[in-house]
Structure 1
Amino acid sequence: MSSKKIAFVTGGTGFVGSHLAEELLRRGYDEVRCLVRSDPKWLRGLPIVPIRGSLADVSILEDAVLDATHVYHVAGLTRAPDEPSLIRANVVGTINLLTAVSRVAPNIEHVQITSSLATIGASDNPVADERTSMRPLSAYGRSKAMMERRVLRLDDTLVTGDDRASDSVDWSRRVPLSIVRPPAVYGPRESDIFTFFQTVSRGICPIIGSGRNPALSLVHVRDLTRGMVDLAEHGPESGEVFFLGSEDYYSWNRIRAATIAAFNRRVWTIRVPERAVPFIGAASEMWGQATRSYPPLNREKANEILNACKMCSIDKAMRTFGFRQKVELETGIEQTIEWYRKEGWLK
């Protein structure tokens, strides 16, 4: 093993990936390499090593992971024009990365792959754990579940025509790896949940139904990235899956109250009937098709909002490597809104 700690982060220019790069630098890693496709965005000014390329190019990935001790695979698509695009990004891209590691990274200590609570989807249990079956309700959730099955050889389904991903391999036997599944993530630089904060800043707070149920897991990005590094350095048994979320489960009423308190202004709460959500999702999807954009709400997302499991247990992470939530909801929301204001996202 190399005495130097060298990390390679995919998705380093994004929300979670940029915070992860900062966490690795705080931990004293000797070198932090980040896969960069175009604009380095949040990585500007950080002492990272940019690697220009994409997950489609195995030769670039081989150069990136050479001599690396830790690989954090955060890159992926959450929205795309069609499901095959999600599969190429989230499944084939992951297999390409593991192929590169297995070929040229003799010093590798751990590879961590980011998945999602969206893999669970419909569940008879309101709180998912790592033993809960995956029945995803969205194209994104299906692509992440497909990725997990391919990596851990949970089935032999051919998920792509790409020859590199067509062989049936249990990658956890070739590469020391773990899979992390975050729930919804919030914090500075986040742009999807931001739309909720933006709406509240304008004096309107939409809440589905009573706002009491279902509750949800919600993790601050700094808790998540701290847990990701703690897990990788703990060195779990290869092939293990972990939820990394909040210790508490939050109702939308509590989220609403924390957000209104952070803005310190009067807000009009609009209760949206659950039966209206599918129609709103369909309208948003039609608007996206007309404008050739990918809005965060569509028909599948509306179905997820109403029917998917939104809570996950972090008991396994707490037992295995001592993971704990450090950022309380109210503090996290206040700090996040303060960042949005400072950066000009909110007035």
Structure 2
Amino acid sequence: MSKILITGANGFVGTNLVKKLLTEGHIVRCLVHRNSDSLKNLPIEIFNGSITSPDTLPEAVKNIDFVIHSAGILRAMEVKTFFDVNQAGTANLIETVYKHNPGIKRFIYISSQAAMGPSKDLNLKDPASACEPVSNYGKSKYMGELEVLKFKNKFPVTILRPAAIYGPHDKDMFAFFQMIKTGIFPILSGDRDSRIQLCFINDLIEICRIILKKDQLKSSIYFLSETRDYTWQEVAEKIGIIMGKKPFCFILPSWLVHFIALTAENLSYFFKREASPFNTDKANEFCQKYWLGDPSSAEEELQYTFTSLESGAKITYNWYLNNKWLRE
């Protein structure tokens, strides 16, 4: 049994992490900057604070065995905010850990495929190859990785780069389930032949669980995804089969995707004063032809088999139904 600090504990990844680790008997400490129903009534330690406020961090990092850093920002109205949170916030956290708890067993950073960037062709991109992010989000996550790697000779650090994550509690991929339910599915990459990989949330959680039990790891960085890649139409059709739908897929040209993203961004800024879920930064990611990485090091070194889209999507769809996010 270990004592584990989870940042971003009330987010999509964090919520799933907390619940899984509790079932294994770990003592879970959560760093949160706001209360959340997802953590309500759970037997956890809650520390109110933020990775952007270094003075709130020392007590949270003391007397723990592991840190799983899943806090971050996916969208922002200003570019600077990405780097304030994903880079500087990560630096604040790991520097505080080194200062107040240098004997920590391992620091795990949940990064993103966006940090690595898309592949140039159908060849799977090696996690050890040069990173070429195409979005401000991806650039900020990559800079966060560099902050973590500064400490790799101080204590064990591991960086996980999941592909697009889906699963229970997820609101972003939920939009795709909603579209498939309507029977209409726009392909936002601008290219019918574009290919992506996906990571089921349970796989990310299991990989974290496995790493917690490892004293030594061969690699510092792992890319996580199902080995198989898909076109967006294949994704829609496979989820459609589970939902009993046959979605009509059509391609939106990249210029139109960017125009829609810019419009949504401006409307959200002027009327809601908040970042739009679909924005120009996200459009830059969607309009890449190949999001393909090589998960073989995770499969071989951690002896793990990733969940198929068919299985993961079925679990996710049933969760959406059971929690009234969708109706049959």
Instruction: Give the TM-score, by structure 2 length.
Output: 0.91
Match of 1:50 in 2: 46
Label 1:37 to 1:22 Cα distance change in 2 as closer, same or farther (>3 A).
same
CA displacement, residues 180-214 of structure 1 (integer Å, 9 cap, x when unaligned): 11110000111111111112222322224797522
Identify the match of residue 206 of structure 1 among 172, 186, 207: 186
Identity value in percent? 31
Identify the match of residue 240 of structure 1 among 217, 220, 235: 220
Match of 1:269 in 2: 249
CA displacement, residues 301-331 of structure 1 (integer Å, 9 cap, x when unaligned): 2222122641211111122221221x32112
Match of 1:304 in 2: 285
Match of 2:175 in 1: 195
Identify the match of residue 109 of structure 2 among 108, 113, 120: 113
Label 1:213 to 1:233 Cα distance change in 2 as closer, same or farther (>3 A).
farther
Whether the aligned pair in 2 keeps the contact of 1:34 and 1:51 (CA below 8 Å) is yes
**1:130 & 1:302 partners in 2: Cα distance?**
23
CA displacement, residues 263-303 of structure 1 (integer Å, 9 cap, x when unaligned): 21454433323443222222222222233232232223222
Q: 1:258 aligned to 2:254?
A: no
Question: What letter is aligned with 1:128?
Answer: K
Match of 1:160 in 2: none
Label 1:294 to 1:189 Cα distance change in 2 as closer, same or farther (>3 A).
same
**1:227 & 1:304 partners in 2: Cα distance?**
25
Label 1:235 to 1:243 Cα distance change in 2 as closer, same or farther (>3 A).
farther
**1:60 & 1:303 partners in 2: Cα distance?**
35
Whether the aligned pair in 2 keeps the contact of 1:61 and 1:100 (CA below 8 Å) is yes
Compute the displacement of 1:40 (Å).
Answer: 2.4
Label 1:213 to 1:100 Cα distance change in 2 as closer, same or farther (>3 A).
same
**1:302 & 1:111 partners in 2: Cα distance?**
32
Stretch of structure 1 that moved more, 35-44 or 208-217 = 208-217
Whether the aligned pair in 2 keeps the contact of 1:177 and 1:239 (CA below 8 Å) is no
Q: Secondary structure at the match of 2:134?
A: coil
CA displacement, residues 150-189 of structure 1 (integer Å, 9 cap, x when unaligned): 332xxxxxxxxxxxxxxxxx21122321111111000011
Instruction: Give the TM-score, by structure 1 length.
Output: 0.87
Label 1:125 to 1:260 Cα distance change in 2 as closer, same or farther (>3 A).
closer
Identify the match of residue 25 of structure 1 among 12, 19, 22: 22
Label 1:147 to 1:238 Cα distance change in 2 as closer, same or farther (>3 A).
farther
Match of 1:64 in 2: 60
TM alignment of 1:74-153, pairs within 5 A: 74-126=70-122, 127-152=124-149
Aligned-residue CA RMSD (Å):
2.2
Compute the displacement of 1:123 (Å).
Answer: 4.0
**1:239 & 1:43 partners in 2: Cα distance?**
32
Q: Which runs of 5+ in 1 are unaligned?
A: 153-169
Paired residues in the alignment total 325
CA displacement, residues 82-140 of structure 1 (integer Å, 9 cap, x when unaligned): 12111111111111111221122254111101111101225434422212211211110
Identify the match of residue 308 of structure 2 among 315, 328, 342: 328
